[in-house]
Amino acid sequence: MSHPNALLTPRGRLQLAQCVVDQCWSLRRAAERFQVSVPTAARWAERYREHGAEAMTDRSSRPHSSPRRTATRIERRIIGLRVNRRWGPARIGYLLGIHPSTVHGVLSRYRLAKLTWLDRATGRVIRRYEHARPGDLVHVDIKKLGRIPDGGGHRVLGRTAGWKNKAGTTANRGPGYHYLHNAVDDHSRLAYTEILADEAKETAAAFWQRANAWFQAQGITVQRVLTDNGNCYRSRAFAEALGPDIKHKRTRPYRPQTNGKVERFNRTMLEEGVHPALPLRVRARRRFLRLAPCLQSPPSPHCTQRPDTCQPRHQPLRSIQLAEPRPYTSTGVTPKESPQCSRA
């Protein structure tokens, strides 16, 4: 039934029964008045005579006995596998020799949390959050990547061939690292990334000043910044770059899940661009990162900012801003200038 006051729901049934029992209406007249059949009017009138107004609600449709219901022993094994090993219905069903839909029914009956709600390491329910407006919180983090030597590294070619490429020429020896400085808006998932030469405090402070200016150009005023407890983020230079109007929050030590949105952004960058299936030269990888296309999506109807500053909610990745990388003095390689990839 749709709502308590609809026709022939608890209130309508009571009125029908009272017309027949208390006001002595005929069954045919009451059925015509409430637009039901005569047997339906007789059924509700009889229930009203026997049990009163409490009998006007729907009865349970559950059968008195279920001979083919899953045995209690099987249900306990299903729950044990789900809690201890955190398996899905298909894997549990294959192990126990039952259909996955049966496993899903047992899990739903006992209201066990979905795997997407759980932390795979601890099994606890993840507390997810999202701020109401763009700029209320910006996640900032640094991803350290080893530079790929010319000819390919060990991830694609294997340890032996990768070591030969690394030690084969003087230019490849000790290639160093890339440092991806990332800033991701909590609400809109709008991201700004730069490839820099180090993770020093001056570098992190200068990155935030450029990132904040870029967010302001998109119509987003940053209120809070969430970082880990790295040395560069605990420095006075970074605090001065934030200024008095931006509140700085830090994660709990050894708890990167708190900053999970930018951590997931780092993983997306690794899987989709940084570690491709085929070996790339160092300059080719930097060129790919600089010229990676932006992922576009329509603006959110719930956004109160400018239409181009907010994206639909609950999306893993919305837009990427890749800024021009800085020179690498350690290897003597200076990347060529290229236009920034910005949102249309």
CATH of the domain at 306: 3.30.420.10
DSSP run (H or E) holding 306? none
Please tell me whether residues 215 and 247 are part of one structural domain: yes
Q: Between vectors from CA 319 to CA 318 and to CA 322, what angle results, nearest 5°?
A: 150
Q: Are 226 and 257 in contact (CB under 8 A)?
A: no
Report residue 284: phi and psi, to 5°. Answer: -65, -40
Q: Which two tokens stand for residue 104?
A: 């899903």
Q: What is the pLDDT of residue 2?
A: 54
Both 294 and 218 in a single domain? yes
pLDDT value at position 173?
A: 66
What residues are paired with 214 via a beta bridge? none
| Per-residue pLDDT at 90 | 92
Among residues 219, 257, 228, 246, which one has the least CA distance to residue 134? Answer: 219
Q: In total, how many domains does the chain have?
A: 3
Tens digits of pLDDT across the chain (344 residues): 456 566 788 888 999 999 999 999 999 999 998 889 999 999 999 999 999 888 888 888 888 888 888 999 999 999 999 988 888 899 999 999 999 999 999 999 998 888 888 877 777 777 777 899 999 999 999 999 887 777 777 767 777 877 777 776 666 666 788 899 999 999 999 999 999 999 999 999 999 999 999 999 999 999 999 999 999 999 999 999 999 999 999 999 988 888 989 998 998 888 777 665 444 444 555 555 555 544 333 444 444 444 344 444 444 434 444 444 444 443 334 444 434 444 43
Looking at residue 321, its amino acid is Q
Task: Tell me what pLDDT residue 317 has.
Answer: 39
Pairing of strands 138-146, 224-227: parallel
Main-chain phi, psi angles of 151, to 5 degrees: 100, -15
304 is a domain residue: yes
Alpha carbons 203 and 149: distance in angstroms, whole number: 25
CB 161 within 8 A of CB 249: no
CA distance 10 to 47: 12
Same domain, residue pair 259 and 308: yes
Shortest CA distance to 322 belongs to which of 176, 198, 210, 230? 210
**Residue 284, in any domain of the structure:** yes
What is the per-residue burial (b if ≥16 Cβ within 10 Å, else e) of 89-120? beebbeeeebeeebbbbbbeeeeeeeeeebee
Give the up-direction half-sphere exposure of residue 163: CA atoms within 13 A in the CB hemisphere.
2
Calculate the dihedral angle through the C-alpha atoms of 208, 211, 212, 214, rounding to the nearest 10 degrees. Answer: 160
DSSP 174-193: S--EEEEEEEEETTT-EEEE
For residue 123, being part of any structural domain is answered with: no
| Helices and strands (DSSP H and E) totals, the chain | 12, 6
Residue 20 lies in a domain: yes
Residues 17 and 102 in one domain: no
Give the separation between CA 118 and CA 315, rounded to whole angstroms.
Answer: 19
Q: Are residues 111 and 21 in the same domain?
A: no
Judgement on whether residues 98 and 14 belong to the same structural domain of the protein: no
Domain range holding 259?
138-322
Predicted confidence at residue 340, as pLDDT, reads: 45
